[in-house]
C-alpha cells in the first residue's frame, strides 16, 4: 500500500539510489503520522477523562514519572538516530561516485544547460548518457547560482560560478527524464529546463562517434551558425519565428533598425551583430534586460557563422 501511495506522490524511480531516498521519506512520514495520531488520541482521551465534573473537582498534581520521562526521551532519540544513520549513509553514497564513472562537464548559463563530453562533443539542453553506467557530472556556472535537479534520479546539486560542484547517478534503464533549475536565476528561470536521454551503451558510443564526425565536417557558414544557435543556447532566448522571448527574435533582425535604452538607434548590420555577440551589454534593446552573457570566447569563424545564419532568418 505504501508503495502505491509513493508512486502517486513521488516521481518514478529511475536511479540506483532513488529507492533508498524514497524509503527514508516514507519512514519519516509514517513515523510522524503515528506520533501525530498518538498525540491526538492522548489529547482527546485526557480531555474527556480529566474534564472538570463539578466545582469541587481538584486536578491532581503529578510531579514526576520516571517511566514517562524515559519514554519521551528515549523514543525520539532512537528515531533521530535511525533518520540520521539512514540519511548519512545515503549522503555518502551520493557524494562518492564509482571510479569507473563516465565524466561529463556541465556548464549552467542564463538560461540553458551545456554539456561537454570527453571527446569534445557539446550539446545544449540535451544530456545523453549510457544506461546502467555510473555518470559523474562536473558542474560550474558562467554567471549566477543555478541548481541541477532531476526528480526521477533524486539528484539535486547547486551549480556555482567560480568553482566546480559534483553530482553522479546511475540509471536503472533507458528512458527520458526532465532536468530543472531549482535556484531562481533571473527572468528566464522557469524556462531553464533540459532533458536526460538514457540510451543503451552501444547506442551511446555510436551517438558520440556520429556527433564527433559531424562537428569535424566542413559546413557552410549558415549551417554551422544554425548548429551554434542550438549548441550555445541561443534558442533559449531568441526565437526564429517572431514569437516574443527573453531576447529579441532573430526573424527579420538583420538590417532592421534597433532602438536602445540609451536613446540611440542603429541598423542591425553585420558589425552590430558581431558587437552584440561579443559585447551584448554595450547596447541594450528597448524592452529587454541586460542579462545576455558575452560570447567573446567564440572564434571569428563561429561569430561569422552566427551572423550568416541570422541573415537568413527573414
Phi-psi region for residue 186, left (φ > 0), alpha (ψ -120 to 50) or beta?
left
Q: Which CATH number fits domain 102-215: 3.60.15.10, 1.25.40.20, 3.40.50.300, 2.60.40.420?
A: 2.60.40.420
pLDDT in tens, 132-162: 999 999 988 988 999 999 999 999 999 998 8
Question: What CATH number does the domain located at 2-95 have?
Answer: 1.10.287.90
For residues 261 and 276, is the Cβ–Cβ distance under 8 A?
no
Q: Whose CA is closest to 253, among 244, 264, 242, 262? A: 242
**Can you give the length of the chain in residues?**
314
pLDDT value at residue 38? 92
pLDDT value at residue 151? 95
pLDDT value at residue 5? 66
pLDDT value at residue 177? 96
pLDDT value at residue 211? 86
pLDDT value at residue 264? 93
pLDDT value at residue 216? 62
Low-confidence ranges of the chain (pLDDT < 50): none
User: Which contacts of 112-120 are long-range, i.e. CB under 8 A and separated by 24 or more positions?
Assistant: 112/192, 112/194, 112/233, 112/235, 112/236, 113/148, 113/179, 113/181, 113/192, 113/194, 113/233, 114/231, 114/232, 114/233, 117/208, 119/208, 119/212, 120/212, 120/215
CA distance 307 to 260: 20
Strand partners of residue 139: 106, 165
CB atoms within 10 A of CB 201: 13
218-311 falls under which CATH superfamily? Answer: Cytochrome c-like domain (1.10.760.10)
pLDDT value at residue 3? 64
pLDDT value at residue 41? 95
CA distance 20 to 301: 50
Q: How are the residues of the chain apportioned to helix, strand and coil, as percentages rounded to the nearest 5?
A: 40, 20, 40
For residues 110 and 120, is the Cβ–Cβ distance under 8 A?
no
CA distance 62 to 266: 85
Q: Domains of the chain: which residue ranges?
A: 2-95, 102-215, 218-311
Amino acid at each position: 500500500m505504501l508503495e502505491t501511495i509513493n508512486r502517486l506522490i513521488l516521481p518514478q524511480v529511475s536511479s540506483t539510489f532513488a529507492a533508498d531516498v524514497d524509503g527514508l521519506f516514507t519512514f519519516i512520514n509514517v513515523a510522524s503520522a503515528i506520533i501525530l495520531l498518538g498525540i491526538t488520541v492522548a489529547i482527546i482521551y485526557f480531555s474527556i477523562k480529566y474534564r472538570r465534573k463539578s466545582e469541587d473537582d481538584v486536578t491532581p498534581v503529578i510531579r514526576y514519572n520516571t517511566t514517562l520521562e524515559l519514554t519521551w526521551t528515549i523514543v525520539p532519540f532512537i528515531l533521530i538516530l535511525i533518520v540520521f544513520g539512514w540519511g548519512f549513509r545515503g549522503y555518502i553514497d551520493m557524494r562518492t561516485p564509482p571510479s569507473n564513472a563516465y565524466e561529463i562537464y556541465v556548464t549552467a548559463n542564463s538560461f540553458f544547460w551545456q554539456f561537454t563530453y570527453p571527446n569534445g562533443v557539446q550539446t545544449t539542453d540535451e544530456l545523453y548518457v549510457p544506461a546502467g553506467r555510473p555518470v559523474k557530472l562536473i558542474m560550474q556556472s558562467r554567471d549566477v547560482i543555478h541548481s541541477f535537479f532531476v526528480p526521477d534520479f533524486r539528484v539535486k546539486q547547486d551549480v556555482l560560478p567560480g568553482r566546480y560542484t559534483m553530482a553522479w547517478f546511475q540509471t536503472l534503464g533507458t528512458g527520458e527524464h526532465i532536468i530543472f533549475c531549482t535556484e531562481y536565476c533571473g527572468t528566464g528561470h522557469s524556462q531553464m529546463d533540459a532533458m536526460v536521454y538514457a540510451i543503451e551503451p552501444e547506442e551511446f558510443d555510436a551517438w558520440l562517434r556520429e556527433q564527433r564526425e559531424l562537428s569535424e565536417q566542413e559546413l557552410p557558414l549558415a549551417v554551422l551558425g544554425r548548429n551554434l544557435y542550438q549548441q550555445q543556447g541561443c534558442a533559449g532566448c531568441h526565437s526564429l519565428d517572431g514569437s516574443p522571448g527573453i531576447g529579441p527574435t532573430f526573424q527579420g533582425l538583420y538590417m532592421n533598425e534597433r532602438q536602445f535604452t540609451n536613446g540611440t538607434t542603429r541598423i542591425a548590420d553585420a558589425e552590430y551583430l558581431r558587437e552584440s555577440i561579443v559585447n551584448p551589454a554595450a547596447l541594450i534593446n528597448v524592452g529587454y534586460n541586460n542579462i545576455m552573457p558575452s560570447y567573446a570566447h567564440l572564434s571569428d569563424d563561429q561569430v561569422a557563422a552566427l551572423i550568416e545564419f541570422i541573415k537568413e532568418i527573414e
